[in-house]
Amino acid sequence: MLRSQERWEPDLVQIDFNVEKIEPVVVHGPDPITQRDLMSPYVWKGPRDYRMMVRAVPRMGDEGDTGTIWYATSDDGLTFTAIDRPVITPGPGPEDAGGC
């Protein structure tokens, strides 16, 4: 408990955010994800594997929707396997004109 004249100072912790190593990440799955550019991956560690949500967008010059969100899993955090369809797709309404 602090007395009126005491001042609390937090413990400072230094965190090192330097990149130590860059390794390629591979995503296997159906053509609608493997034949697109992948953006904005979010990876987390599950109880027994790694999980990822990632946005797949048409490559420059390709036609189609503006992006879909896919779910994939990995045992090692480097080689992922996507499920057979996106988990989030843009709808037909004007609110989804920019895609996912």
DSSP line for 46-93: -SSSEEEEEEEEPPTT--S-S-EEEEEEESSSSEEEE-SS-SB---SS
Residue spans of the domains in the chain: they are 26-90
Residue-wise pLDDT for 29-73, tens only, equals 999 999 999 999 999 999 999 999 999 998 988 877 778 999 999
100/52: higher pLDDT: 52
Of 80, 76, 23, 90, the C-alpha closest to 54 is: 80
Tokens, residue 29: 């799955």
Structure-token pair, residue 93: 């309404």
